[in-house]
Chain A
Amino acid sequence: MSEKEKESGLTRRDFIRGGVRGALLAGVGAAAGGLLARSRAGDTVWQIDPEKCIACGNCATYCVLKPSAVKCVHAFDICEYCEKCFGYFDLDAPDVETGAENQLCPTGAIRRRVVHGPQYEYKIDEQLCIGCGKCVAGCGQFGMGALFLQVRHDLCINCNECAIAAACPSDAFRRVPADQPYLLKTKQ
């Protein structure tokens, strides 16, 4: 023990021990703060307001995930089950045959099956959908707007700064409560 240590009453060992304790406390505090901040961010998630979405295609390319966490969804409640659905058929399709050359979706992500009479059901294959919104534009122009884009929360990693939200030209992205993560269209 040096003279100085004797005078102050603090040994080098005590100093190091205290420092380690302080660092541990600071680490625990930082971890707790981080967890708290994360839990607060987790209270809300990103979602697309279908009334504002203009199906520009940015969702397909600006998401940090490849393919995008944005997918087309189908509100069966408002769908009219059209024989010639313009979310499914290309504008130039000469007839209502389901050949690839007649389909609007470039990835073939929409399935069509007859329900009865001239009514057909359309389902999205999310494994194939890249969220380009081409079908959304077609359905919105000619049909009921039953096809629309949503952020799928089984895929989305909920970035603090969503790259698609920043690039959205119609300001359609917003944060919504995590316990109500979808903005769905319903029959009015």
Chain B
Amino acid sequence: MSEKRSISTTGVIIAVVIVVAIAAAVVVILRFDPFGEAGSGLGKQFVYDDKQYRRTDPGMIHYKELQPIETGLKVARGIAVRPDAAVYVAGDKKIVAFDRDGKGFLQVSLDDPPQCLAVEGNGTIYVGMIDHVEIYSQKGRRANRRAKWPSLGKEAVITSIALSDSDVFVADSGNSVVLRYDKAGRLLNRIGQVDKSRGIPGLLVRKPCVDVAVENGKVLWVVNPGRWRVEAYSFDGKPKRHWGRQSQEIEGFCGCCNPTAIAVLPNGWLITGEKGLPRVKICDETGCLRSVVAGTEVFAKGTVGLDLAVDSRGRVLVLDPSEKAVRVFIRKKDGSE
């Protein structure tokens, strides 16, 4: 009788051990993660989290997106628009142009990759190469020897061109300066260089992304990305005003250097484009945020190099290098500022 009880006790112990072993094996198998599918397992403080800045208040977004213009380029760098709403895009080793309906009508082959461009009303194209400017007729021909301006030197990185009736403004990010030329290519003056007597701190450029835009043919707007602001100058280089501040919030310019692109609306308000948290927004003449054109959520993560233009119909054209397309935004009918 006692032998029987002893056997049954031993059997129970063995059964318990087996069950515990199987349970332990199941736990080990479930927890074993050789392919990292469960993630790092690090605490929240070790994880880089920018989610809260990737959402935009829908009430701030006053624009809606239309059908984009596919550029067909592998690398898209710069955009410009003509008064008749024709869109020009620089990239790869060419310029491509589309009419107001998005139909391609011109292609200009270049010897080297272009960085940026500007277009006159008559269709003359000013192309910023890495260290010099080239000029092409409306048919895409480089007409004469004046059509290739001299190199700005080894350090030059031309990132933007803007036009007034008689002037050509060339942003040289490599040398942290904006050069003002007449249409014949004669250098008139330099803008944005350090000048304490005039209260100019100088352009602080970390990545080559200085952009320029002309407001109503009278004022030159220059991006000063390292100081997170935009600066207005008279054409002779006299500072007029500036605004902007660093902030991840939508009201400020995010990251270490922003904005990277600007365009001017007919009423003098500025459209700005940023990197890091790619977003496009509109601020009034005092820098007060008035509207978001496109929030961070509409761009692919890691998008850099947005370029901006506004056409005569009020469409905001955003060159998106990640999509290799011109994304078109128009103001919603019920959008209020």
**A16 in contact (CB, < 8 A):** no
CB pair A82 B46 closer than 8 Å: no
Query: What distance in Å separates the Cβ of B146 from its nearest Cβ neighbour in chain A?
Result: 33
CA distance A172 to B287 in the complex (A): 43
CB pair B36 A86 closer than 8 Å: no
A contact residues, range: 20 to 34
Query: What distance in Å separates the Cβ of A58 from its nearest Cβ neighbour in chain B?
Result: 5
Assess A85 versus B36: contact at CB under 8 Å? Given A61-B41, A132-B42, A132-B46: no
> Chain A CB within 10 Å — which of B39, B45, B255, B256 has the most?
B256
Contact of B42 among A61, A85, A86, A91 (CB under 8 A): A61
CB pair A82 B256 closer than 8 Å: yes
Query: What distance in Å separates the Cβ of A60 from its nearest Cβ neighbour in chain B?
Result: 6
Interface-located stretch among B47-55, B108-116, B306-314: B47-55
- 13 A-B contact pairs sorted by A residue (CB < 8 Å): A56-B40, A57-B42, A60-B40, A82-B226, A84-B255, A86-B276, A91-B248, A92-B248, A137-B48, A142-B256, A143-B255, A166-B35, A166-B36
CB pair B42 A80 closer than 8 Å: no
CB pair A168 B40 closer than 8 Å: no
In chain B, positions 97-113 with a C-beta closer than 8 Å to chain A are none
Query: What distance in Å separates the Cβ of B39 from its nearest Cβ neighbour in chain A?
Result: 7
CB pair B48 A138 closer than 8 Å: yes
> Chain A CB within 10 Å — which of B47, B48, B246, B248 has the most?
B48
**B59 in contact (CB, < 8 A):** no
Query: What distance in Å separates the Cβ of B12 from its nearest Cβ neighbour in chain A?
Result: 40
CA distance A143 to B53 in the complex (A): 17
Query: What distance in Å separates the Cβ of B255 from its nearest Cβ neighbour in chain A?
Result: 4
Q: Is the interface of A mostly helix, strand, loop or mixed?
A: loop
Residue of A nearest to B255 (CB): A142
Assess A141 versus B276: contact at CB under 8 Å? Given A60-B40, A80-B256: yes
CB pair A167 B248 closer than 8 Å: no
Q: Is the interface of B mostly helix, strand, loop or mixed?
A: loop
Query: What distance in Å separates the Cβ of B51 from its nearest Cβ neighbour in chain A?
Result: 10
Q: What A residues does B332 contact at CB under 8 A?
A: none
Interface string of A122-137 (1 = CB under 8 A from B): 0000000010111001
Residue of B nearest to A84 (CB): B256
CB pair B48 A60 closer than 8 Å: no
Residues of chain A at the chain B interface (Cβ within 8 Å): 55-58, 60-62, 80, 82-86, 91-92, 104, 106, 118, 130, 132-134, 137-138, 141-144, 163, 166-169
**B318 in contact (CB, < 8 A):** no
Assess A163 versus B34: contact at CB under 8 Å? Given A92-B248, A144-B207: yes
CA distance A57 to B45 in the complex (A): 11
Assess A82 versus B36: contact at CB under 8 Å? Given A106-B45, A142-B254, A143-B256: no
Q: What A residues does B49 contact at CB under 8 A?
A: 91
Q: What B residues does A80 contact at CB under 8 A?
A: 206-207, 256-257
Query: What distance in Å separates the Cβ of A113 from its nearest Cβ neighbour in chain B?
Result: 17
CA distance A82 to B205 in the complex (A): 10
Residues of chain B at the chain A interface (Cβ within 8 Å): 33-36, 39-43, 45-50, 53, 204, 206-207, 226, 246, 248, 254-257, 275-276, 302
Query: What distance in Å separates the Cβ of B196 from its nearest Cβ neighbour in chain A?
Result: 14
CB pair B36 A167 closer than 8 Å: yes
CA distance A138 to B43 in the complex (A): 17
CB pair A134 B40 closer than 8 Å: no
Residue of B nearest to A141 (CB): B276
CA distance A36 to B161 in the complex (A): 63
Residue of A nearest to B34 (CB): A166
CB pair B248 A57 closer than 8 Å: no
Q: What A residues does B46 contact at CB under 8 A?
A: 57, 60, 106, 130, 132, 134
CB pair B40 A57 closer than 8 Å: yes
CA distance A56 to B49 in the complex (A): 11
CA distance A11 to B179 in the complex (A): 103
CB pair B34 A86 closer than 8 Å: no
Further contacts, 15 of them, CB under 8 A, given A86-B255, A92-B248: A56-B39, A57-B46, A61-B42, A83-B226, A84-B256, A85-B256, A106-B46, A118-B226, A141-B48, A141-B50, A142-B256, A142-B276, A144-B206, A163-B34, A167-B34
